[in-house]
């Protein structure tokens, strides 16, 4: 292999690492802001992310081959001991036909059917038009809670399929809730009256 080729591959690896660093740090900031962690929790999560970043950098630096191989995330192991469990009444909802600009919401109700208190760490909508809310307190075994999805159809038309990803101290950690709606476009008007689209 030529020195030029090796240098090019090395530069590609460096750029990939810079990109990964940026993504990890941006993800950490977004997660901390979105989930509103306390300072202590925030510091712990930042330390974990920094540790993971250093680990990734160490592996890249120690690699002897210049070829770039895609990273495969390590599968998380199921925690031991009693765990909570989310049991939703439904994970799918159909708002039916709505008009563009309508703001609709649906509350997904659940029960903790596990063996330990359940804590929802966060909920993330699939786009900015979906704003979730959820039970913030720990849900005891047998207790109930909610995840609310608020959908703003402004600027959205036709069939809309959206999700809310709920992260909790369950196994698996994430549960995906789905909803759909048929959004009728706003009627536009001209000097001669309404215009059909």
Asked whether residue 79 is assigned to any structural domain, the reply reads no
Domain region containing 142:
86-184
Same domain, 93 and 146: yes
The CA-based angle 77-81-83, given to 5 degrees, is 85
Same domain, 125 and 47: no
Taking the C-alpha atoms of residue 52 and residue 41, their distance in angstroms, rounded to an integer, is 17
Same domain? 35 vs 117:
no
- Categorize the per-residue pLDDT at 192 as very low, low, confident or very high, splitting at 50, 70 and 90: low
Radius of gyration of the chain (CA): 23
- Of residues 155 and 56, the one with the higher pLDDT is 155
The pTM assigned to this predicted structure is: 0.58
* pLDDT tens string 91-116: 999 999 999 999 999 999 999 999 99
Q: What is the pLDDT of residues 146-162, one digit of tens each?
A: 999 999 999 999 999 99
* CATH at residue 123: 2.60.40.10
| Residue 195 placed within a domain | no
Number of structural domains in the chain: 2
Asked if 100 and 137 sit in the same domain, the reply is yes
């Amino acid at each position: 292999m030529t020195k030029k080729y090796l240098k090019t591959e090395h530069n590609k690896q460096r750029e990939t690492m810079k990109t990964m660093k940026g993504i990890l740090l941006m993800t950490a900031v977004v997660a901390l802001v979105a989930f509103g962690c306390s300072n202590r929790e925030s510091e712990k999560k930042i330390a974990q992310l920094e540790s993971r970043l250093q680990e990734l950098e160490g592996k890249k630096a120690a690699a002897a081959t210049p070829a770039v191989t895609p990273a495969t995330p390590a599968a998380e192991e199921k925690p031991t001991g009693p765990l909570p469990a989310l049991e939703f009444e439904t994970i799918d909802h159909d708002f039916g036909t709505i008009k563009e600009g309508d703001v609709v919401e649906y509350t997904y109700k659940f029960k903790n059917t596990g063996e330990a208190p359940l804590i929802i760490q966060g909920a993330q909508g699939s786009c900015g038009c979906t704003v979730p809310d959820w039970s913030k307190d720990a849900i005891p075994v047998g207790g109930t809670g909610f995840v609310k999805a608020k959908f703003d159809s402004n600027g959205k038309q036709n069939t809309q399929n959206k999700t809310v990803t709920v992260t909790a101290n369950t196994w698996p950690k994430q549960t995906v809730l789905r909803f759909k709606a048929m959004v009728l476009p706003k009627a536009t008007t001209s000097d001669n009256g309404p215009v059909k689209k």
